[in-house]
């Protein structure tokens, strides 16, 4: 039996042959980072390796001075005899699965992933391997996502109805990833689009990477009239709910974009008018399809509904186990927990408290 290419250590997922970690939750010497969400990319490590499109968000979040080496998808580096390459995970900009090859063994660590293409990053690509390390955030049979076109049509229809009634449409979603997916799918012909101060820096990172997003304005933009604000789609992080920042929009309809919106109780807890079922993670059929496509006989599950997924995999005759990781405290719980602060957002500057451009003072 060849030795395991990746094992669990108190610091994170560890490759003993290469002496490096993948998405460690404690500071280490060397690590590979799957993506820049804060539960997977943490401060304090000596050397980081990540996809080129993660560079902007990683430096903004972990510090401009980090030692960062970047790779394109499919590019291979060899480190102590281990061949390392990154492959699209379809989760957020720059998200990658990490493929390790050594001594005839291939292991792939997925990080977070999603199967359906969303136009904001290259879609998930299955990578053949002997052992696949997977997330299972939505690893329950109830989780099945609507198709992208259906979801985008729902959001546009909601905005259209509100705009016609002279009501702003405030849509809450995670600032890194979710907000840009919403933007990518909306019909900018309906009205102006306002982005919260925690969202706009991320939009800039996506645009710089070549992702076409419709024009967005800051709420304080002097060109926005009172009438504009009443027809606007407002993209804001969940933490903006109930803050004075919203006052300028007056009477408005609100909605939340998250995979958890599939569960009625989650929407009720949010207290919003609408819930749009939009997730950056694979749904139950997606997880099964992705795992099957790797051809792996051994599966290790890192976070989410790990026990349910492991039981299902064992029933399929696969060798499955759990690695107890510290992932899922950020993007997934940001979705799940209304009280989650927005401080984890890359490059997030808190939106300044009410300013002179409040509705009354607007031209
Ligand atoms: Zn993530
Ligand atoms: Zn995660």
- Counting ligands in written order, the one closest to the CA of 138 is 2
- Mean pLDDT for 110-120 is 97
Q: Which domain holds residue 123?
A: 7-142+281-336
- Counting ligands in written order, the one closest to the CA of 137 is 2
Is 60 in the same domain as 100?
Answer: yes
Q: What is the CA(95)–ligand 1 centre distance, in A?
A: 8
pLDDT confidence tier of residue 341, bands split at 50, 70 and 90:
very low
Kindly report, residue by residue over 187-224, the tens digit of the pLDDT: 999 999 999 999 999 999 999 999 999 999 999 999 99
Q: What is the CA(188)–ligand 1 centre distance, in A?
A: 27
Structural domain contains residue 56? yes
Is 115 in the same domain as 209?
Answer: no
Is 30 in the same domain as 133?
Answer: yes
Is 62 in the same domain as 107?
Answer: yes
Runs of H (alpha helix) within the chain: 55-62, 148-164, 178-185, 200-208, 226-231, 264-270, 284-294, 306-315, 331-336
On the question of pLDDT at 339 being above 50, the answer is: no
Is 114 in the same domain as 42?
Answer: yes
Q: What is the CA(191)–ligand 1 centre distance, in A?
A: 30
Residue 329's CATH number:
3.60.15.10
Residue 196's CATH number:
3.40.50
Q: What is the CA(149)–ligand 1 centre distance, in A?
A: 23
Structural domain contains residue 94? yes
For the record, the structure tokens of 211 come out as: 């992702």
- Counting ligands in written order, the one closest to the CA of 89 is 1
- Counting ligands in written order, the one closest to the CA of 92 is 1
Q: What is the CA(282)–ligand 2 centre distance, in A?
A: 11
pLDDT confidence tier of residue 333, bands split at 50, 70 and 90:
very low
- Counting ligands in written order, the one closest to the CA of 136 is 2
- What CA–CA distance (Å, rounded) separates 200 from 272? 23
Q: How many domains, the chain?
A: 2
Q: What is the CA(114)–ligand 2 centre distance, in A?
A: 11
Kindly report, residue by residue over 172-193, the tens digit of the pLDDT: 999 999 999 999 999 999 999 9
Q: What is the CA(186)–ligand 2 centre distance, in A?
A: 26
Structural domain contains residue 271? yes
For the record, the structure tokens of 253 come out as: 């309809």
On the question of pLDDT at 353 being above 80, the answer is: no
Is 216 in the same domain as 104?
Answer: no
Structural domain contains residue 1? no
Structural domain contains residue 342? no
Is 255 in the same domain as 298?
Answer: no
Neighbours of ion ligand 2 (CB under 5 A): 112, 327
- Mean pLDDT for 67-77 is 98
Structural domain contains residue 34? yes
- Counting ligands in written order, the one closest to the CA of 134 is 2
Kindly report, residue by residue over 287-304, the tens digit of the pLDDT: 999 999 999 999 999 999
Structural domain contains residue 92? yes
Is 357 in the same domain as 229?
Answer: yes
* pLDDT number for residue 265: 84
- Counting ligands in written order, the one closest to the CA of 25 is 2
Closest listed residue to residue 304, CA positions, set 323, 285, 286: 323
* Mean pLDDT taken over the chain: 90
Distances (CA, A) of 284 to 115, 139, 314: 11, 5, 16
Is 159 in the same domain as 304?
Answer: no
- Mean pLDDT for 119-138 is 97
- What CA–CA distance (Å, rounded) separates 360 from 222? 13
- Counting ligands in written order, the one closest to the CA of 39 is 2
Kindly report, residue by residue over 229-266, the tens digit of the pLDDT: 999 999 999 999 999 999 999 999 999 999 999 988 88
pLDDT confidence tier of residue 358, bands split at 50, 70 and 90:
very low
pLDDT confidence tier of residue 329, bands split at 50, 70 and 90:
low
Q: What is the CA(172)–ligand 1 centre distance, in A?
A: 17
Is 106 in the same domain as 157?
Answer: no
* pLDDT number for residue 258: 93
């Amino acid at each position: 039996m060849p030795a395991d290419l990746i094992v669990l250590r108190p610091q994170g997922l560890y490759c003993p042959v290469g002496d490096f970690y993948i998405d460690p939750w404690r500071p280490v010497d060397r690590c590979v980072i799957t993506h820049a969400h804060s539960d997977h990319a943490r401060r304090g490590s000596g050397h980081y390796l990540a996809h080129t499109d993660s560079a902007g968000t990683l430096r903004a979040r972990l510090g401009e001075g980090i030692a960062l080496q970047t790779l394109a998808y499919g590019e291979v580096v060899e480190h102590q005899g281990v061949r390392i390459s990154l492959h699209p995970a379809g989760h957020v900009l720059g998200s990658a699965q990490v493929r390790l090859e050594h001594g005839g063994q291939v292991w792939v660590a997925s990080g977070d992933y999603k199967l359906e293409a969303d136009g904001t990053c290259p879609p998930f690509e299955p990578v053949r391997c002997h052992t696949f390390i997977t997330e299972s955030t939505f690893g329950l049979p109830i989780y099945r996502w609507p198709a992208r076109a259906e979801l985008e049509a729902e959001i546009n229809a909601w905005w259209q109805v509100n705009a016609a009634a002279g009501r702003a449409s405030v849509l809450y979603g995670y600032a890194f990833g979710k907000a840009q997916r919403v933007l990518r799918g909306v019909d900018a012909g309906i009205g102006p689009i306002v982005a919260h101060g925690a969202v706009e820096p991320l939009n800039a990172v996506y645009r710089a990477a070549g992702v076409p997003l419709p024009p967005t304005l800051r709420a304080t933009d002097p060109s926005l009239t009172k009438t504009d604000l009443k027809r606007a789609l407002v993209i804001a992080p969940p933490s903006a709910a109930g803050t004075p920042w919203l006052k300028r929009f007056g009477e408005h309809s609100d909605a939340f974009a998250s995979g958890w919106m599939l569960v009625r109780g989650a929407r009720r807890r949010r207290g919003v008018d609408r819930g749009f079922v939009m997730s950056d993670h694979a749904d139950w059929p997606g997880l099964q399809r992705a795992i099957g496509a790797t051809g792996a006989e051994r599966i290790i599950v890192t976070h989410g509904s790990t026990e349910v997924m492991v039981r299902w995999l064992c029933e399929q005759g696969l060798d499955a186990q759990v690695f107890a990781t510290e992932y899922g405290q950020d993007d997934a719980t940001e979705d799940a927990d209304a009280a989650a602060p927005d401080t984890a957002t890359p490059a997030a500057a808190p939106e300044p408290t009410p300013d002179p451009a409040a509705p009354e003072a607007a031209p």
